A and B are shown apart, each in its own frame.
Chain A
Amino acid sequence: MAAIDITDVHKSFGKVPVLKGVDIAIASGEFVVLVGPSGCGKSTLLRLIAGLEEMSAGEIRIGGRVVNDLPPKDRDIAMVFQSYALYPHMTVAGNMSYSLKLKRTPREVIADAVTSAGAKLGLGLLQERKPRELSGGQRQRVAMGRAIVRKPKAFLFDEPLSNLDARLREQMRFEIKKLHRELGATSVYVTHDQIEAMTMADRIVALNGGIIQQVGTPLELYDDPANIFVAGFIGSPAMNFLEGNVLPGPGGTGISVGGQTLCRLSMPLAGSAQSKVTVGIRPERVMLAGDTSGLQAQVVLVEPTGLGTVLHLELAGQFLKLFTTERPALKIGDTAGVKVDSADLRFFDAATGQRIRVAG
């Protein structure tokens, strides 16, 4: 167990900058999830921590010790790869014990470690199988087992569940969290799946284009996104974004969408001189008025999910999703009255995408 401190890390491949100044302080025992779209540099950052890649500038400390020049084997970390990267010519037991054998650990200690890791992961009966004789989920467990037998200071996971089907992913999510609680080891977990990020993380680091967008607990990112990228990336169905006009007036600031008034704020928007603003609202915060009051929107598509219904609406040429746990009797083409609570609205600068807060 150790803290990991990443300070102003830059990484370029040739002339192409991939990480442009990343700072993260990961506390000892913390489970941090790195999320971001494909190609944003998540794997690159993880590989820098592992020492598989050399950073162009910056500093990484593991347990207080600068590891910039340490080879991977001296960093005392374990990594679980997306492809699992099991040794195909070794058995399950061989895969798990390889690192201990290299350290010349006594045979009994190795046997104990492998047996207990196998028992934790439900691999007891598979110890003598080769990786190709295992299912995807079992391979995944072996990769985890290989990581935990070493009792490393930190675990690094690079999209370990992306090759599994949805149900197995759900189960492994739970098992990885359980293991983390038992072992209490610092973990850095890379994924592009925001549900994994939300459910597993102590803290989420949202990355885009090699720059950290926001760091915080899952609900902080969900409720209080720093910018339009985080707001749109976290949450499913995704947050709605509407183009609104700001109408300052004597009774407060009005926000209108397509000529209809969305809300009236008692306080002005902080530092807003603009007349345009992007308004974000979560689909589950958009409510049906139940009558023809409120904003008038056309139903474009009705998606029943079982748990509830996602209504796709068109509001003066802009699209809006509404999630409700009810099963409204609306059909495509119907007109629905929709209302929102101004406390549920998030405002973003239409040009930069940065959050604009309500003053006060």
Chain B
Amino acid sequence: MTVAIDQSMAIRHRRAWSSRVLAVSEPWLYASPAVILLSAILLVPLAIGISYAFRDIQLLDPMSGGYVGLSHFSEIWNDANFWNALRNTLQWTVVSVILQFVFGLILALMLNRPFPGRAVVQALVFLPWAVPAFLSGLNWAWLFNPVVGPIPHWMVALGLASTPENILSDPSHALWGPIIAIVWWGIPFFAITLLAALQSIPKDIYEAAEIDGAGPLQRFASITVPFLAPTIAITLLLRAVWISNSADLIVVMTKGGPADSTQIVASYIFTQAFQRLDFGYASAIAVVLLVILLVYSALLIFVRQKLIKAG
């Protein structure tokens, strides 16, 4: 009797255990195609790319490919060009983002009030956004070129320069060339986002404030600004990541020159990889940039949570 009972209990036990395993793994089984696909597309290339940072990979050297540990990183630490590029990245990002934001906000505020022909102006204003960055880089490079472009001659006419020079070949001012191009190109982004945010503010709140005696500036300060603040914070932070990472205008307009004066980290990676063909070193810099941006993104998410809670 007792033996039989023990046996049946053991069987029940075993069955219970296997069904529990099944229950736990069931959702994973359903999710597995997506998990496998995502890791194949996202994680594997990332892992391979990061692994290059620890290997000596020179495209023109068939003997290369060996594991070099952290030596690329110590090289970066002592690479004056890298530090220069990092400084430039900071200047490039901060100046471009702020200028894009200021002009974008002004544009959004102007487009938010009705006037005849508003639809047409709105469409025109958003045009730069539709121009490929590469094309706008070429366009601005020509505009700054005294042989084909008008800008240097205008500068002379305005008394800002004594002779028509190409700003892109002046090491102390060259970074302003790509900055102007990316600001021109990026204003619509801010204008669209901020205009959408402005249009979501209920009109009757402005009317209530008007009746309460608030003038235009007071209404801007106590209604518009608090309403826009979360949008502004998030777009500024997101835009900063994007701009710090975008090297296309710089590569097209100056190739990082003259004398590395317009080299940002992203364009420096490009130069290392495709001009010096040193993929290992380029990957190591990319990893450093990745870490910097990850830290920044963590900060961004933190700020976002704060804003959501406050807003």
Contact = CB atoms under 8 A, between A and B. Distances in A.
Nearest to B218: A102
A116 to B, nearest CB: 18
B202 A78 contact: no
A78 B213 contact: no
A184 interface: no
B230 to A, nearest CB: 11
Interface in B195-222: 202, 204-205, 207-214, 218, 222
Given A87-B222, A87-B223, A89-B226, A102 B212 contact: yes
Interface in A259-273: none
B202 A83 contact: yes
Given A73-B212, A78-B211, A98 B222 contact: yes
Contacts of B205: 85-88
A79 B208 contact: yes
B202 A73 contact: no
A79 B209 contact: no
A83 B209 contact: no
Given A98-B222, A102-B218, A85 B210 contact: no
Contacts of A85: 202, 204-205, 207-208
Contacts of A72: 207, 210-211
Contacts of A319: none
B202 A98 contact: no
Contacts of B209: 87, 98
Contacts of B213: 73, 99, 102-103
Most buried by A among B204, B205, B208, B222: B208
A73 B222 contact: no
B208 A73 contact: no
Contact of A77 (B211, B214, B218, B223): B211
A215 interface: no
A81 interface: yes
A81 B208 contact: yes
Contacts of A50: 207, 211
A101 to B, nearest CB: 9
Contact of B212 (A52, A83, A89, A99): A99
Interface of B: 202, 204-205, 207-214, 218, 222-223, 226-227
26 contacts: A50-B207, A50-B211, A52-B211, A71-B210, A72-B211, A73-B214, A79-B211, A81-B208, A83-B202, A83-B204, A85-B204, A85-B205, A87-B208, A87-B223, A88-B205, A88-B227, A89-B222, A89-B226, A98-B209, A98-B212, A98-B214, A99-B213, A102-B212, A102-B214, A146-B212, A150-B212
Interface of A: 50-52, 71-73, 77-79, 81, 83, 85-90, 98-99, 102-103, 146, 150
Given A72-B210, A81-B208, 18 more contacts: A52-B211, A73-B214, A79-B207, A83-B202, A83-B204, A86-B205, A87-B205, A87-B208, A89-B222, A90-B222, A98-B209, A98-B212, A98-B214, A98-B222, A99-B213, A102-B213, A146-B212, A150-B212
